[in-house]
Amino acid sequence: MLQCQWRSHYYILALKGTIKAGGRNGMIREILKLGDSRLYEISEEVTKDDTDMIREWVADLHDTLMDYRETYGAGRAVALPQIGVAKRLLYMYTDRPYVFINPAMEFPDDEKYELMDDCMSFPGLMVKVSRYKRAVIHYMDEEFKPRTMELEGDLSELLQHEYDHLDGILATMRAVDNKSLYMGQMKREL
Ligand SMILES: [Zn+2]
């Protein structure tokens, strides 16, 4: 049976208040919006030459994500290309911060489900998409240590969404059909 969930409802309790970046000074960066050609580019691998930049990128992604949460009451993860840096790095803040460098995803089975997706690059627009229920993500952490995480349900679809940004794919391009885009009110009571 297909499930259809409004993702933001599930996150609202976790999003109360602003979580400060621990000891790092980041900047709230402009989030590229739907239609900006840079969102449709394929990003490059992060290399050892980027090591010095990673801390700065992560601090900026953190502050940008927290600012978005304060404004819209939603947002658990952000992709580096969304702030105009075409490198393969994702940042997620759930129970703690997670940095995914050069991630690769695989899907252990074909089971999919439908949900209402949203994106920091188009606040207020919801898109019905179909995602794999289960996924495995292989990546390197901030120290370039290889890691693997098994994902199910909302974390699985979240990281499929974020991974797509690295390949220049937006959720609008994954709409289940061309009538499955909806304008909604994103600002919610916290
Ligand atoms: Zn997005």
The domains located in the chain, with CATH, are 7-183 (3.90.45.10)
Amino acid 190: pLDDT: 39
Three-class SS state of 187 = coil
pLDDT per position in the chain (190 positions), as tens? 333 444 443 333 333 334 444 456 789 999 999 999 999 999 999 999 999 999 999 999 999 999 999 999 999 999 999 999 999 999 999 999 999 999 999 999 999 999 999 999 999 999 999 999 999 999 999 999 999 999 999 999 999 999 999 999 999 999 999 999 999 865 544 3
Q: Give the closest residue to 55 by CA, choosing from 86, 104, 84, 91.
A: 91
Q: What is the pLDDT of residue 10?
A: 36
Give the pTM.
0.86
Compute the chain's Rg from CA coordinates: 16
122 Cα–ligand 1 center, Å = 8
Spot the catalytic one: 45, 70, 162, 189: 162
Distance of CA 49 from the midpoint of ligand 1 (Å) = 26
Task: Give catalytic status of residue 162 as yes or no.
Answer: yes
Q: What is the pLDDT of residue 24?
A: 60
Cα-to-chain-centroid distance, residue 51: 21
pLDDT at site 25: 78
Q: Which residue is it, tokens 């991974």? A: 163
